[in-house]
Amino acid sequence: MTDRRRDPAHPPRAVVTVDTGSDPAPDRPTFVLVHGIGVSSRYFERLVPALAEEGRVLAVDLPGFGRAKPERPPHPLGIADFAASVAVVLDRLGIADAVIVGHSMGTQVAVSLAGSRPDLVRAVALLGPVMAPEDRNPLRAGTLLGLDIFREDARGNRIVIGDYLHCGIAWYLATLPAMLEYRIEEEVERIDVPVIVLRGGRDPIARDDWVARLAERTGGAATRIPGVAHLVMHGAPWRTAALIADTARVRP
């Protein structure tokens, strides 16, 4: 399917919100954290220190979200546009061979980046990937997102709800079709790096059957962390970081 409006000569800009700095050990990876629709990199606050024990950590706000809201373009963006915005950041900082950690819609961005710029990516971590084919309509997606609120802790909900209010309904609705149209199960078969597919055991969005199907497309197995919901990296940051780091050590 053709992605939404793109201008390859002038890719949109993502904003770096966290950079733990160059790691002194050259064999340690750089982890790049990519958030989902409506929110920002703020909900990675617990994952950042956990991953920082394994290497350099970079978090970005995608165009139109979080701190990148002032750079919001006048037209909707597609998943490939968001991936290009992350590539611009990595090129500017001279970062290659990164571990791209995507959550929710960020998993789509991670897969798109690995497909379009394999020179930048050594591994991909898909946390709470979206969307299962049966969920790809606005009403169903909204219902599942709403259900997840009742399964998250108070801190996670404050961050997410605050970010949604900051984002605004107009940009959320402008971005939603791109998320619902993206066929991650097809695109993930085109990338040639280690992939981990991870979900929280109480996640109503990335459910067991969908995550298992997606993991099978990567040639691997799905991983499940019990007791946490869609914000798996918020509910179980150290376990999530350990699993991501293990994947980063595998070479294709």
**Considering the domain boundaries, does residue 192 fall inside one?**
yes
What confidence tens digit (pLDDT) does each residue in 46-101 have?
A: 999 999 999 999 999 999 999 999 988 989 999 999 999 999 999 999 999 999 99
Question: Are residues 221 and 215 in contact, defined by beta-carbon separation less than 8 angstroms?
Answer: yes
Alpha helix ranges (H) inside 150-195: 154-167, 169-181, 184-187
pLDDT at 26 over 90: no
Concatenated DSSP letters of 38-78: T--GGGGTTHHHHHHTTSEEEEEEPTTSGGGGGG--SS---
Burial of 186 (0-12, 13-18, 19+ CB in 10 A): exposed
**Considering the domain boundaries, does residue 7 fall inside one?**
no
**Considering the domain boundaries, does residue 2 fall inside one?**
no
The pLDDT, as a whole number, for residue 27 is 80
pLDDT at 219 over 50: yes
Cα torsion through 115, 243, 232, 49, rounded to 10: -100
Task: Name the helix (H) or strand (E) containing 209.
Answer: helix 208-218
**Considering the domain boundaries, does residue 73 fall inside one?**
yes
pLDDT at 113 over 80: yes
**Considering the domain boundaries, does residue 84 fall inside one?**
yes
**Considering the domain boundaries, does residue 142 fall inside one?**
yes
Cα 128 from Cα 231, distance rounded (Å): 8
Domain tally, the chain: 1
What residue numbers bound the domain in which 113 lies?
Answer: 15-248
Per cent of the chain over pLDDT 70 is 94
CATH number of the domain residue 155 falls in: 3.40.50.1820
pLDDT at 182 over 60: yes
What confidence tens digit (pLDDT) does each residue in 189-218 have?
A: 999 999 999 999 999 999 999 999 999 999
pLDDT at 5 over 70: no
The pTM of this model reads 0.94
pLDDT band, residue 220 (cuts 50/70/90): confident
The pLDDT, as a whole number, for residue 252 is 55
The pLDDT, as a whole number, for residue 4 is 43
Tokens of 197: 């597919």
The pLDDT, as a whole number, for residue 132 is 96
**Considering the domain boundaries, does residue 104 fall inside one?**
yes
